Amino acid sequence: MTAADTQAAGPPVPVPRAPEKTGTSPSEQDAAGPRPKKRRKKGELLPYFLILPAILAIAAVYVYPLIKTVIMSFQDLGRAALWGNGETPWVGFEQFTNILGDTEFWSVVGRTVVFMTICVVLTMGIGLLIALMMLRVSTWVRLVLTVALIAAWSMPLMVAASVFRWLSDSDYGLINTLLAGLTGNEDRWLGHNWFLDPWQGFGIITLLVVWGAVPFVVITMYAALTQVPRELEEAASLDGASAFGVYRFVTWPVIKPVFTMVATLSVIWDFNVFGQIWLLRGNKPEPDYETLGLYSFSKAFESTSFSQGSAIALITVLMLSGVAVYYLRQLIKTGEVE
């Protein structure tokens, strides 16, 4: 065959391939019978049975009281009805209307917000400074400081309140004795009662709250500071950054998520301070020392208006719900970053 004959014949025509058998047809599947069901692995449900007691305990401790509080806030529950000797009429939003229209309630809210803000700022500031200091001290000093912080953190609230009551005692308090010695004015400080003035009294209460909360902040922030890459700090220093610049542009972005979560938790805890004020005021806080928790307790048990106390507690929960949602969002973001 010559080249001319090859060109005249043209290119070879491709032969179509038979379709490959990729699966069975519906008729074949019906003939083969139903597919066997997927069997659960042995022990697959065991984790759910293990956490079931915890779920039931949480439901009993938190969910049921919350539902009961919501129901009581829409009723007019008095002492007689509490013991089953009277009716419990439904009043709708009357309790909330009376509370939100009461100037005393808003005064207590303002007092609570100011007290919470001061406690959170002092707690986070002092805690962060001590955590930064722990990075620069020797190992044995850091160990002693950690033991002291854990001891303060583990001290029961009643014991801590008794210590601060002795420190601020008007006759034998250490604070008055030190101030009298430093200023040389014994007539001014010996016998001085700090709780006659609510501002001074809240100062002592703030010291107790901050003293009990700082250990958690220090330990948590120190753990976060140890995760900052040292090579980045050294590189920033070699590039001419000051100590503040290294902290602002290298250290702070790393510890910011942890700082935000701890600060959010501090807001929730300090907004609900109850035991510190209750114990320092001898179980009988004056109206000037009432925060929202104490105000709710006073309305419920001293005024025997349990529905009104429940409504105040529910309003407090709604106020903190935004903070709780923000905390959960930060927690989710931190998990995504990690």
**pLDDT per residue as tens digits for the range 92-139:** 888 889 899 889 999 999 999 999 999 999 999 999 999 999 988 888
**Could you give phi then psi for residue 140, rounded to 5 degrees?**
-70, -35
Q: What is the pLDDT of residues 260-303, one digit of tens each?
A: 889 989 999 999 899 999 999 888 888 899 999 899 888 888 77
Residue 1 has a pLDDT of: 45
CA distance 219 to 201: 29
- The more confident residue out of 152 and 33 is 152
The tokens describing 6, both together, are 């090859």
Confidence tier at 7 by pLDDT (50, 70, 90): very low
**Backbone CA torsion sign across 261, 267, 272, 273:** positive
262 neighbors 327 (Cβ within 8 angstroms): no
Closest of 287, 283, 282 to residue 299, by C-alpha: 287
Q: Which amino acid is at 79?
A: R
Name the least confident of 31-40, 201-210, 222-231, 296-305: 31-40
CA distance 216 to 209: 12
CA distance 173 to 184: 16
Residue 90 has a pLDDT of: 82
Helix and strand element counts for the chain (H, E): 18, 0
**Angle formed at CA 167 by CA 165 and CA 169, multiple of 5 degrees:** 65
306 neighbors 300 (Cβ within 8 angstroms): yes
Confidence tier at 84 by pLDDT (50, 70, 90): low
pLDDT at residue 8 is higher than 80: no
Task: Calculate mean pLDDT across residues 138-162.
Answer: 91
pLDDT at residue 79 is higher than 70: no
91 neighbors 76 (Cβ within 8 angstroms): yes
Element (H, E) at 127: helix 103-134
Residue 322 has a pLDDT of: 82
Task: Calculate mean pLDDT across residues 22-48.
Answer: 61
269 neighbors 324 (Cβ within 8 angstroms): no
Q: What is the mean pLDDT of the chain?
A: 83
Q: Rank 51-55, 75-79, 80-84, 213-217 by mean pLDDT and report only the highest.
A: 213-217
Task: Calculate mean pLDDT across residues 76-85.
Answer: 67
Confidence tier at 43 by pLDDT (50, 70, 90): low
Task: Please list the alpha-helical segments (H only) found in 33-74.
Answer: 46-58, 64-73
* Residues of the chain by 3-state class (helix, strand, coil), percent to 5: 70, 0, 25
